[in-house]
Amino acid sequence: MWSLGLLLLLFGSCTADIFTAIADMQRMLGAEKEVTTVIESYIEAEQKRLEELKRFADEYIVRNNDAADVGPDFVTNPINAFLLIKRLTSEWKKVEDIMRNNVADKFIKNITENRIKNQVKFPQEEDLSGAATAILRLQDVYKLDSTDLSNGIILGEKVSHKLTAHDAFEVGRAAYNEKDYYHTLTWMQTALNRLENEEEKTISEAEILEYLAYALYQQGNIRRALALTKRLAAISPDHPRAKGNIKWYEDMLQGKDMEGDLPPIVNKRVEFDGIVERDAYEALCRGETPPLDPSEEKLLYCYLKMDKPFLWLAPIKVEILRLDPLAVLFKEVMSDYEMEVIKATATPKLKRATVQNAVTGELETASYRISKSAWLKEEEHPVVARINRRVEDMTNLNQKTSEDLQIANYGIGGHYAPHFDMSTRGEKEPYRVNGNRIATVLFYVSIECLHFYRKRKRMRSRHSILEIDWPLFCSM
């Protein structure tokens, strides 16, 4: 049975999954502005409260000085006695009320209520980790230097604020929590370098040194790990782990030369991190596409598709990009209005994208797919039905067995690592009703549309059917 496997509209794009989609990140910008206003209002209210307390304190000081000048006879004056008792009863009650009247709870409650009202999610620890991991992913794919990134420089251009030592430390800590010691070492060293140039320190040297030493050890730099741990013990003699770690490293180095200059740092990236054909994937993301064979290149062509009566009036611009597997580029097939309608309709429905577990058949989230997605049916908006009809005109494939329109919203650094869109041999319960996927159409909001056909199962060339959504710096 023929089926159009997947209609996927991509408008590029960070509960604890805000980092997976730009749509949520954009809503957070308004929330941050609101938080700034609330903090300023809170400071103003606190200043008034503290000024009133200061006025009471000044009055107490004046009265105390008067009493000290007169001595014990001060209270023999009935007026003085009355005022003393008043200050320590009704006036002191006012002071207690002012001291207890911390307005923070009120302001925090207002922020929470506005978040619920405006459906704005606040990030959690997982979002911080996810955002840091996105930086690491972009760093690897686009061969970016951590020092440049910490200076706000991306691909040679100054595009953001500099990171503090603490900021760089958090990126390194995210790598450490993933047991990614290659990036831990790089970013902890960057944090240490930034700390040395900070007038107002944003983190302690001891905290950085412990992580950096452990990353050095994990990457095989035991002598350097030992040297840094000794430095840690020197600046923080009461550190709970420093002495034990020194002995541990010394025991590992027993019988080896521990004198002389330290050897160069070794920091190799893990060869296999779960991404299939990683080097080729990252090269493609950088635009480093292998050249076509000249014999194939001369067969490529462009044309106007006019094989249906309607297309005589509105032909579709088509470019054949590759013949095996067939990859076709359709140009100018979606209007700005249609794009905005699709985004507006899909945004409220966006949820963390999932993958199907090949063994259990269950849907689950995965680190190799960082995005949010939504599915739109034809009856939800006339534009959806119109796009489905247009895809049928573009591909000549019947839409009766196609899936619903899927919208993907990627966060910064969001990606979908190389994967098969169709089910492969051995997967549990692949598409029992309408058959397996045979083709995918991708609409990019600010780019053209790309379409390519799946190889049939009998054609085993796995290199020709892997699909990639590469990490993004910003929304498209």
- Tally Cβ neighbours within 10 Å of residue 248: 16
Question: Would you list the domain boundaries of the chain?
Answer: 22-118, 125-253, 333-475
pLDDT band at 459 (very low <50, low <70, confident <90, very high): very low
Please tell me the predicted confidence (pLDDT) of residue 14: 42
Please tell me the predicted confidence (pLDDT) of residue 446: 52
Query: What integer is the mean pLDDT of 211-217?
Result: 97
Distance from C-alpha of 2 to C-alpha of 381, rounded to nearest angstrom: 25
Q: Residue 463's closest CA among 284, 290, 325, 285?
A: 325
Lowest mean pLDDT among 3-7, 22-26, 112-116, 349-353: 3-7
Distance from C-alpha of 368 to C-alpha of 417, rounded to nearest angstrom: 5
What global pTM score does this model have?
0.76
Lowest mean pLDDT among 52-61, 117-126, 251-260, 383-392: 117-126
CATH for 125-253 is 1.25.40.10
Query: What integer is the mean pLDDT of 393-419?
Result: 85
Distance from C-alpha of 35 to C-alpha of 41, rounded to nearest angstrom: 10
User: Which two structure tokens, joined as six digits, stand for 388?
Assistant: 């489905």
> What pLDDT digit, counting tens, does each position of 130-174 carry?
888 989 998 999 999 999 999 998 888 887 788 999 999 999 999
> What pLDDT digit, counting tens, does each position of 333-353 carry?
999 999 999 999 998 898 988
Statement: residue 389 has pLDDT above 70: yes
On whether the CB atoms of residues 379 and 343 are closer than 8 A, the answer is: no
Please tell me the predicted confidence (pLDDT) of residue 468: 58
Please tell me the predicted confidence (pLDDT) of residue 464: 47
Mean predicted lDDT score pLDDT of the chain: 82
Highest mean pLDDT among 4-13, 395-404, 457-466: 395-404
Statement: residue 182 has pLDDT above 70: yes
